[in-house]
Structure 1
Amino acid sequence: MADQEDWSTDANEALEISIVQAGSGSPKTLSTFHPQFTYPIFGEEERIFGYQGLRVNLRFAAHDLRPNIEVLYDKRFKAVGDTKATNIEETLKEWMPEVSFEKVGAFNSHIQNDSSARHWKPPGELLESYTSKGRKFEIWSGELTDPAIRQIIERIQILISFFIEGGTPLQLDDLDWTLSRWRVYFIYEKLSDLSSPNASHYSIVGYSTSYRFVTYIPHQRLTPHLLHDFNLPPDKPIAPNSLPHRARISQFLILPSHHSHGHGTHLYNAMVQTFLADPTCVEITVEDPNEAFDDLRDYCDYPRLLANNSLSQISLTTSLPPHLTQKRPGIRVPTSKLLPLPLLEHIRKKNKIAPRQFARLVEMHLLSLISPHARQAGTARLTQRARASDPDDRMWYYWRLLVKQRIYKKNRDVLMQLERGERVDKVEEAVGEQAGDYERLLRNMEKEGGVGGNGERRRERGKRKNVVLLDDDDEEDEDEDEDEEVDGGVERATKRVRLDE
């Protein structure tokens, strides 16, 4: 076993990714980094067996992402029975196009002698140009039916498995009707200091994809531009871009060498602007976002709703009839008495924000309206605050009721397995953590002037506690064990609640 361990290499350390362009005499390396994950390719332990001094160089041309794989090592394990060295190139063939495996010399020659690179432009249409830290960048976009876009995605999408946990490559051999539902957004740096006449002005920074989920809208809710008669079968093919849909942001990647430049913010906002301008898009969703992307989305969506005065229309009622504030078993406060629910739905649809995300923004906004002295009570139950003379105390009380109700409803199956006292404590703890997370986000936005991050942020509190996944379609809570519940509630089905199972 000790001998076999000597032949085992950490795949994340052995594999080095480089972005290169034509240089003076030989290809010039613009950036180098290692993958964050390799388990989809090399197994859960992320190790490669059979080599000493192993180095796997994966290089991409900066502009069109032409790839090349080079495997170097000092010694290779001689097979003993069924025990043999991992065939690295054979393993990677399932993930990379055939051009990746040409000889290194041929790849270098192509990079150095490709005269078309200097005049190359990203495929699709230019959406935005911006400057960050004195460097110029552009965002381009197009459909996956474009052969040039499809070729770039085929070459680069192995990085999705390297940097997005659970990320999977796109199926590029689908029918055009399916491929046309995918849209790709590229960020490129616009270079000016070139060391070779054959070097491209463009270098990849990151990319994202979105997918059109065709959605049913009742006839009475359709706007005129979506109302039209057609026969079945249709007289001519129906284009996906003519149908009402939910836009789902699927993959979102900024290369490690370009973190801390605000590219995630620019890319996300550019995508959202295209969705808002598309009359067939009714809602913007995100596929299984991680914590870093949750933060990025909050840092972008919240300032936008502030800027267009959507949030300024929303406030929490603090004066309720006496019969609703009396502390008696079975007394519930209707949400419609605390929040203007029809207005909330109107604002949500106007901004095309999914219910989960919109309710999160509403909770954050309402918390920001409460004075710091009232919020200092932390997770205390404050059972008498409904009748407090200070309106901030009452607002803090009702805000916590809304959040508690959401947490209780969405985790009811888990919570009902606990004793009542433990159940109450878990909900109280979750409310405190949620308030603390909102405070962190609000603090950071105030510090940064409302400008978001780059998609690579991590939560300041460290790792999550145990996760409870929640269902969008949870039934209305009918349990009355908790006398501080609220009927109805903001429809926020948050993906994660920090409760121990």
Structure 2
Amino acid sequence: MTSVSDAVDALKPELWTSSLNEAMSIYVTDTKGTASSFKPAFTYPIFGEAESIFGYKDLQILLCFDAVTWLPFLNVKWSAAMPDVDTDVKQKMLDQLPALAVFKDEGIWRDRIEQEQRDYVIPGSQVGETWKHQQQDWALYKLDLASAAGLELHKRLQILVLLFIEAGTYIDALDPLWEVYVMYNVTDPQLPEIVGFTTVYNYWKYPGHTKFDAGAIETRKKISQFVVLPIFQGQQLGGQMYERLFEQWLADPDVVEVVVEDPNESFDDLRDRVDLTRLLTSGHIDLLSISIATVTAPGWFEEFKKKEKLEKRQLQRLLEMIFLQQRKDGLGKESAKAIRQFIKRRLYEKNHDALVEMDEPTRLDKLQTAYMALEDDYMRVLAALRLKKRKESDTKPKAKKQKK
């Protein structure tokens, strides 16, 4: 029999409505037994656009993972539920988790973790060398998706795509053109802890009939999804993962270009910083000598783009930032007006169809507004770079001391 208080509560929809982004908590338990928690960025891929649910009071969705094996544990709790609730929260979550996910029984989950961690081997091959950062060791691995263990690990990780990438969807891991790379903290090599992962698609590029007849294979690497766990963000680890992937592809003669699928603002920032730092610290771009005349000379752009395996838009943006950095450092190779015109030329070409319909004053105003916003954004990225400031005197030979 329904009590009076229950009947009154039923008239208060706010008591029965839960924000799913708030109701869900994600936990990662490390090898010391410490659990770190964070909230999802999105839940609409699982529960719908509203990212809310009606019919449960005090709803809690606890999604837990082991840092090493990424074995999932799910618990769904509430203090009361209306009869005939439309959405089965438990089933919605289990539909996105692999069959080995444990529901509610934490003891079974911990026992299974202990079994899986015994003699654990990452199901893949290491990419490049282990590196040191913040007194800890880190490594990048390419999963073996042809193995049962590699495929299972990917199934465990992939729910993070829905929870942290806007409009993210699962890849077809059985398609051999997909690659999955996982970054680990390997300070304890027996119990490596997952930091993040990225999915990459290989597009075949026709190399021309001569190379094709000779058996040449050319591919474009397309970074599709890129996730760094929130507990590891802000430590430059995402940039290090991207940097080491790019290093491998630069050294691979079969890779002709690296592109990114629909990057969000945070990944754009990460890529800009890493690409700029690589070009400037390697000496491939010299702030003391680079000029607009150089980069606009016939053939220079295409040749440099091919050598650095950068997509056209990214190289254009990098050059624009480089000229602003050059001026910021007081090297004086290009005037502010020349840089402004250089950037506006690309903006005009990019938005030609819309701008060409405008009268000249409106067109000029739109271009100036777009330029100012872009310059502010570029300066924000450049401010985060940790580059040694170059000076004209850096290239001048030092006088030898006179012998007495």
2:44 maps to which residue? Answer: 39
Offset of 1:192 from its aligned partner? 4.5
Note the residue ranges of structure 2 that are not aligned, 5 or more in a row. Answer: 1-9, 390-404
Matches of 1:371 and 1:96, distance apart in 2: 50
Write out aligned runs for 1:430-441 (5 A): 430-441=370-381
Matches of 1:362 and 1:112, distance apart in 2: 49
Match of 1:288 among 237, 262, 265: 262
1:426 maps to which residue? Answer: 366
1:348 maps to 2:305: yes
Check whether the contact 2:31–2:68 (CA below 8 A) recurs between aligned residues: no
Check whether the contact 1:76–1:85 (CA below 8 A) recurs between aligned residues: no
Match of 1:59 among 64, 79, 90: 64
Matches of 1:227 and 1:367, distance apart in 2: 45
**Per the alignment, do residues 338 and 118 of structure 1 end up closer, same or farther by CA in structure 2, a change over 3 Å counting?**
closer
Helix, strand or coil at the partner of 1:294: helix
1:161 maps to which residue? Answer: 162
1:170 maps to 2:179: no
Check whether the contact 1:18–1:29 (CA below 8 A) recurs between aligned residues: no
Write out aligned runs for 1:328-477 (5 A): 339-370=296-327, 395-446=335-386
Check whether the contact 1:135–1:189 (CA below 8 A) recurs between aligned residues: yes
Q: What is the letter of the counterpart of residue 352 of structure 1? A: K
Check whether the contact 2:125–2:144 (CA below 8 A) recurs between aligned residues: no
Helix, strand or coil at the partner of 1:311: coil
Matches of 1:371 and 1:10, distance apart in 2: 46
Helix, strand or coil at the partner of 2:49: coil
Offset of 1:417 from its aligned partner? 4.3
2:97 maps to which residue? Answer: 96
Offset of 1:440 from its aligned partner? 2.1
Helix, strand or coil at the partner of 2:12: helix
Alignment deviations for residues 353-404 of structure 1 (CA, whole Å, 9 cap, x no partner): 1111111111111222336789xxxxxxxxxxxxxxxx76x63323222211
Offset of 1:185 from its aligned partner? 1.2
Helix, strand or coil at the partner of 1:98: coil
**Per the alignment, do residues 252 and 112 of structure 1 end up closer, same or farther by CA in structure 2, a change over 3 Å counting?**
closer
Matches of 2:34 and 2:177, distance apart in 1: 35
1:50 maps to which residue? Answer: 55
Helix, strand or coil at the partner of 1:445: coil
1:184 maps to which residue? Answer: 180
**Per the alignment, do residues 113 and 285 of structure 1 end up closer, same or farther by CA in structure 2, a change over 3 Å counting?**
closer
Check whether the contact 2:172–2:178 (CA below 8 A) recurs between aligned residues: no
Offset of 1:101 from its aligned partner? 4.7
1:73 maps to 2:78: yes
1:316 maps to 2:292: yes
1:465 maps to which residue? Answer: none
Matches of 2:329 and 2:252, distance apart in 1: 40
Matches of 1:338 and 1:96, distance apart in 2: 50
**Per the alignment, do residues 126 and 314 of structure 1 end up closer, same or farther by CA in structure 2, a change over 3 Å counting?**
same
**Greater relative contact order (Cα < 8 A, sep 6+):** 1
When the two chains are superposed, the root-mean-square deviation of aligned CA atoms in Å is: 2.6
Alignment deviations for residues 147-167 of structure 1 (CA, whole Å, 9 cap, x no partner): 322211111111111111111
**Per the alignment, do residues 227 and 398 of structure 1 end up closer, same or farther by CA in structure 2, a change over 3 Å counting?**
farther
1:204 maps to 2:213: no
2:22 maps to which residue? Answer: 13
Check whether the contact 2:323–2:339 (CA below 8 A) recurs between aligned residues: yes
Note the residue ranges of structure 1 that are not aligned, 5 or more in a row. Answer: 194-199, 230-241, 318-336, 375-390, 451-501
Q: How many residues align?
A: 377
Matches of 1:292 and 1:341, distance apart in 2: 34
Offset of 1:191 from its aligned partner? 5.1
Offset of 1:143 from its aligned partner? 4.3
Check whether the contact 2:71–2:113 (CA below 8 A) recurs between aligned residues: no
Percent sequence identity over aligned pairs: 31
Check whether the contact 1:17–1:59 (CA below 8 A) recurs between aligned residues: yes
2:134 maps to which residue? Answer: 133
1:123 maps to which residue? Answer: 123
Helix, strand or coil at the partner of 1:165: coil
**Per the alignment, do residues 369 and 61 of structure 1 end up closer, same or farther by CA in structure 2, a change over 3 Å counting?**
closer
Matches of 2:11 and 2:359, distance apart in 1: 50
**Per the alignment, do residues 340 and 417 of structure 1 end up closer, same or farther by CA in structure 2, a change over 3 Å counting?**
closer
TM-score by length of 2: 0.85
Q: What is the letter of the counterpart of residue 314 of structure 1? A: I
More off after superposition, 401-410 vs 308-317: 308-317
